[in-house]
Amino acid sequence: MIDLQLTDKTHDEERQGEALVIDAPEVRNGRKLYIESYGCQMNFADSEIVASILKDQGFETTGDYHEADVVFINTCSIRENAEQRVRNRLSQFGAEKRRNPKLVVGVLGCMAERLKSKFLEEEKLVDMVVGPDAYRDLPQLINQVEDGHKAINVLLSREETYADISPVRLNGNGITAFISIMRGCDNMCSFCVVPFTRGRERSRDPHSILAEAQDLFDKGYKEVTLLGQNVDSYKWKGPDAEENAEIEVNFAQLLEKVALISSDLRIRFSTSHPKDITDEVLYAIAKYDNICNYIHLPVQSGSSRVLELMNRTYTREWYINRIDAIRRIIPGCAISSDIIAGFCTETEEEHQETLTMMDYVGYDFAFTFSYSERPGTLAARKLEDDVPEEVKKRRLAEILLKQQETSLFRLQQFVGKTVRILVEGTSKKSDKDLCGRNDQNAMVVFPATTGVKAGQYVNVHIDRCTSATLLGTIAVEVPEIV
């Protein structure tokens, strides 16, 4: 099971590499594929597309790279330490390749485009480099490597959405799944490499999204997460067979369409952008009980001047306006954030503005990190990374401490109350406990009870909590659910 518990790290850079295993394909050629993914949820969703493409070629997956014929790392390029982890892992794969010269080693995803020449030529770590819009070309590229050549395709596309590919659910629990609704990003945040590594923004047609969600529900899945770099800017225009006319679908309308598939299908989404999230989206969340009351709304900084340098295209006041709208329209909605400490030229007073923003919002949890300059970004070209590392570390520590205190306070509000959760499986710490998430995305752990199994909705009375987890017992009598 892929753990989506939010931590004090940014979701775009600190997901540890995970070997992804799928059920045996219908057609096998005796060859095995190993995929290790790093970074954001989009990378894990992309790995499911890769697995589907190669499944059609007869590959079955394995959780042990020693027995693989093809090894891929799906990479993240958000932070420098993520790149170093990938290099270290590639060195380990290199040792395996010396033992098995026929092993094909490739790098996929965001890091591929930016470091293609280093990986292929200078460091000779890999046989192939494939960008996120070129996965359909993988069978041909693998053949090219097996013919004795290096292989590369990092071309970005203005159209590719992989809408016609049914992803293979990797390491799936059969309960929760990702659905990619769009690719790329048009927001040129000065610190971010995503527009350069994933290309321009394009939305997937709603018909294929709804078909995928319906198929998942028919197969027993109970929760889907709609994914995009900026889901609020989802917009599709095209023909509608039923109405025999051109239609336009925005994100609020898409949310409603997915919610109407079944009240037993729970819907989450990530990530929202403060400049684009509308009251229409908020009212859609409030209208449907199966759209979870949880919004990830990255603030990055509490200072309007720093936000302008980041090219976030909103101010402190605009962000607060959106927070006020969430609190007004969806009372009890959980809110999480991304926060950068020590961005270029950030003063102590501006750091304090970030802390006061945290006080105002009261985030349920946050992904936090100190600024790390990424080559090729506007900030790297135009701004000086002039905040000393020791200052960044100290500011980050202050942000972390405040968030830990706030996270604990938020979870304490559930103690003594009953929450409805979707059981995801056995707790990591004990096979005598089960776990699942409530509507607000908080992890709930409770003793396993006869007859209760993964995939069920249950009511749990919360007895106590830590700063990250709610602890409770199955509710015998069901008071008002929160």
Structural domain boundaries of the chain?
18-153, 176-412, 418-474
pLDDT in tens, 182-203: 999 999 999 998 888 888 999 9
Instruction: Answer yes or no: CATH 3.40.50.12160 is held by domain 18-153.
Output: yes
Smallest CA-to-CA distance from 115 within 162, 163, 83 is with: 83
CATH of region 418-474:
2.40.50.140
Q: In one letter, which amino acid is 52?
A: S
Strand partners, 370: 341
Q: Residue 24: its pLDDT value, please?
A: 38
With tokens 């409805």, the residue in question is 420
With tokens 């004795």, the residue in question is 148
Q: Residue 193: its pLDDT value, please?
A: 87
355, 399 contact by CB (below 8 A): yes
Neighbours of 238 (CB within 10 A): 12
Strand partners, 248: 237
Please list the ranges in the chain whose pLDDT falls under 50.
Answer: 1-16, 20-27
Whether the bond into 271 is cis, omega within 30 of 0: yes
Q: Which CATH number fits domain 176-412: 3.30.70.2470, 3.30.70.980, 3.80.30.20, 1.10.357.10?
A: 3.80.30.20
DSSP element (H, E) containing 99: helix 80-99
Alpha-carbon distance 4 to 264, whole Å? 21
Q: Which residues contact 348 (CB under 8 A, 6 or more apart)?
A: none
**C-alpha Rg value of the chain to the nearest Å:** 22
- Environment class of residue 104 by beta-carbon count within 10 Å: exposed (0-12), middle (13-18) or buried (19+)? buried
Strand partners, 295: 335
Q: β-strand 245-250 against 104-109: which pairing, if any? A: unpaired
Helix (H, G, I), strand (E, B) or coil at 17: coil
Alpha-carbon distance 300 to 24, whole Å? 42
Q: How far is CA 281 from CA 66, 105, 233, 365, in A?
A: 47, 43, 11, 21
Q: Residue 109: its pLDDT value, please?
A: 87
Smallest CA-to-CA distance from 183 within 173, 175, 191, 194 is with: 194
pTM, two decimals, is 0.87
Q: How far is CA 263 from CA 29, 259, 333, 425, in A?
A: 41, 7, 19, 21
For the chain, helix, strand, coil in percent to 5 are 35, 25, 40
Alpha-carbon distance 180 to 161, whole Å? 8
108, 132 contact by CB (below 8 A): yes
Backbone angles phi, psi at 202, to 5 degrees: -145, 140
% of the chain with per-residue pLDDT over 90: 73
Alpha-carbon distance 170 to 61, whole Å? 9
Alpha-carbon distance 261 to 254, whole Å? 11
Alpha-carbon distance 419 to 271, whole Å? 25
Whether the bond into 62 is cis, omega within 30 of 0: no
322, 285 contact by CB (below 8 A): no
Q: Residue 12: its pLDDT value, please?
A: 36
Q: Read off the DSSP letter of residue 300.
A: B
Q: Rounded to the nearest 5 degrees, what angle is found at the Cα of 69, between the Cα atoms of 68 and 75?
A: 75
74, 46 contact by CB (below 8 A): yes
Alpha-carbon distance 2 to 42, whole Å? 13
Q: β-strand 18-20 against 32-37: which pairing, if any? A: antiparallel
Strand partners, 473: 461
Q: Read off the DSSP letter of residue 244.
A: T
Alpha-carbon distance 444 to 441, whole Å? 9
Alpha-carbon distance 153 to 161, whole Å? 17
